[in-house]
Structure 1
Amino acid sequence: MAEVFRGFNGMKFEKALAVEPGVQEGLAEVTLEVAGKAEALLAEHHHDGDAQIDVEVGDVDHYVVLSDERGQLAALSIEFGREPHENEDGELVGGMEGLYILHRAAHLKKRRKRK
C-alpha cells in the first residue's frame, strides 16, 4: 500500500513547493509586472498626495500594496471609492468612484466594498 506524506523537509507540501527558487522567481516577476501596471494606472490619476505603489516580500508571498501615508483610509478610498457625506449646508460632498488600481493591474474582478 502507498504511503502518503503530508509534509516535505519538515514543511507542509504547499509551503515546500512555494519556497522553491523557481517558484519564488516566478512570483517576483509577476509581482513586478503587476506593480508596474499599478504604478502606470495610479500615475494617470495622481495629481498630488502621497499615494504610491509598494512591493512587499514576505517569507513566502510577494505583495503589491497601494500605500497612502495620509491615513484616514485614503488608500482604501482610492481603490474602492467612498460614499458622499453631508456638509453643514445639507449638500452631499466628498464622494468618489473607486479607481480599482490594484484590481485592474492584477486583472481581478471589481467588487464594491462591504458596508
Structure 2
Amino acid sequence: MAQVYRSVGGRKLTKVLALNEGVQAEVEARTFEIAVRAEEILKQHRAEGHSEILVEEGKVDKYVILSDDRGQKAAMSIEYGRAESVVVREDRHGNKFLDTIPEMDGLYVLATAANLPKKRKGKVKLD
C-alpha cells in the first residue's frame, strides 16, 4: 500500500506540486492564452480605450485582470452589466442636475476568454 505524505521537505504537498516546473509552464501558457483572448474580446467593444487586460503574478498563481483604473473604474459593470441608475451631476458652473445612466448588459470578457460559464452576478447599481 502506498503512503501519501502531506508535506515534502517542510512544504505542503499541494504547494510542491503547484511550484513544479511543468505545472508552472502550463499555468503561464494558459494565462497567456486567456489574456490574449480577453484582449481581443475587449477590443471589439472598446469605446474610449480606458479598460485594459493585465496579468498579475502571485507566489504560485497568475491572474488575468480586467482593469478600468484609467477610466470610470467600471470593470465590474463591463464584465457583468449594470442596472439603470440616476445620479446627481454638477456642470462646470456648479449647477446640479439629474443624469440617467442607462442599463448595460455585461460583456463577460474574462468569462468568455477563460471558457467559463457566464454567471450573472446581478446588475451593478451605481450610486
The structure with the greater share of residues assigned to strand is: 2
TM range (shorter): 0.7 to 0.9
Letter in 2 for 1:103: A
Q: Give TM-score, length-normalised by structure 2.
A: 0.79
* Residues 1:113 and 2:117 are matched in the alignment: no
Provide structure 1 residue ranges, at least 5 long, that are not aligned to the other structure. none
Letter in 1 for 2:104: M
The percent of aligned pairs where both chains have the same amino acid is: 46
User: Aligned residue for 2:109?
Assistant: 101
* 1:94 Cα deviation after fit: 2.1
2: distance between equivalents of 1:92 and 1:30? 40
Higher relative contact order, structure no. (Cα contacts within 8 Å, ≥ 6 residues apart): 2
Q: Which has the larger radius of gyration?
A: 2
Aligned pair in 2 of structure 1 residues 96, 8: CA closer, same or farther (>3 Å)? Answer: same
The structure with the greater share of residues assigned to helix is: 1
2: distance between equivalents of 1:101 and 1:23? 25
Aligned pair in 2 of structure 1 residues 81, 9: CA closer, same or farther (>3 Å)? Answer: same
Q: Give TM-score, length-normalised by structure 1.
A: 0.87
SS at match of 1:40: helix
In the TM superposition, structure 1's runs of 4+ consecutive aligned residues that sit over 3 Å from their partners are 1-4, 70-73, 86-93
Provide structure 2 residue ranges, at least 5 long, that are not aligned to the other structure. 89-96
Matched-pair contact (CA < 8 Å) for 1:9–1:16: no
Matched-pair contact (CA < 8 Å) for 1:81–1:97: yes
RMSD: 2.4
Count of matched residue pairs: 115
User: Aligned residue for 2:60?
Assistant: 60
* 1:49 Cα deviation after fit: 3.9
